[in-house]
Structure 1
């Protein structure tokens, strides 16, 4: 089963772009459900206006991820009148949909854990003072460790140590993931315009079919050539 992390962002765009991002998010999640792709919202930053989204980061799991994302990754355009500024002349608004590189979060395996025993400190009677019942568990790949001395039983302390070590390592990995996402978010703050992967129109957010005729493609190539010659 494939996993990917996707970010939908309005970049540094105005409130209208945040409104578009919220609409795109709703549309995107509906398609995920139709394709039986499970998702988890990792992070969401709301826009200034009610019902708008500055950015949202989503973890996807499923078999058809690439097939669905092919028509999403890139710049998404909405053609319509501003919902916040009635007399604003701008009609084209853009948001971005990106696949983010992530760290590989690995499950903790018992073979990677090293245990050290020691005498427990504090009250507990002679048994605690004489027997090395306290346990330090070290996760070798990340060098993360915990010390457990809750029980008089070394065996029970080992079990508790595994649970706590797992939680601690997962927290460390999650913080690394968040940092990775923040770094990439900085790179995507400026949403590129032009050549959108999807185009929506109107307040009902109707998807436009991108039908390109040969004549239209030829005219686009001519225009691009002119732009290059004039630049």
Structure 2
């Protein structure tokens, strides 16, 4: 580990020189690439510097402690400092291990979130709408922007399906753990007998795909246009602006009709399609690499029940990490950071365990 840290520190110094070089600055493409690489190394290098300073401080304190010419008070202070530094060094070593874990290349990307009503009829649609509101509130709390891409309403205030984009640095790194089946338990407003019903909605979180990363052969696409319509079949648009894109090799279909412009609807549909296709490709690769091994968090299995929202008890339980929070009202208002932090910590612990067992 320490050989790697020394190497990264030297690389960081080298990058600092390069990004200050006028010749490199004039080459904006190269300069931006090196600046990004420099910024990614910064937290690791700073933590390693703090670690080395603590190790030096510990060595200095030991020297005082074992110096027979030092007075008792000075040696007692050195002993106290040693105890503090030994604890700090242990913590810093754990932090450095986490920082050295392989970084998900998608972590800094924007995300496309797809929410679909599952079992439970109208109640499932209402729950899907509430999840959409929860994630948009969370995005607002982080200063991120949201953009609606596709919406299919139920007619009673719920959603059969909603697809939206969240733009924000690190959005994928935090929201990727939300993929899976979400279950709600509560008494619906239409239930006269006061019985608790169980409904579900599925969430898929996909990293936004840049054009340079993933290209689709135009010959693999079938583009159909049709007239947009609202709930109940009411006409929203008198022109054929809605677009349906079919990826022929996989038979994957995406429809968009929220924009008045056919061009914009086509653009959004292809963006969603690219994200889905890349996600499919990545999951197939992961399945090949680890056929029977599942990590504790974030398996990406869309059928996996990951969380239960129990309204009568005011609790949310995440089944992957066996964590329960009794703050349902604020959670549904987008205050989901506590749960996300726990998921990230659990994921990191699992990855550390795998690295140590290799």
Superposition TM-score, scaled by structure 1 size: 0.49
Greater relative contact order (CA < 8 Å, ≥ 6 in sequence)? 1
The structure carrying a bigger strand percent of its residues is: 1
Superposition TM-score, scaled by structure 2 size: 0.34
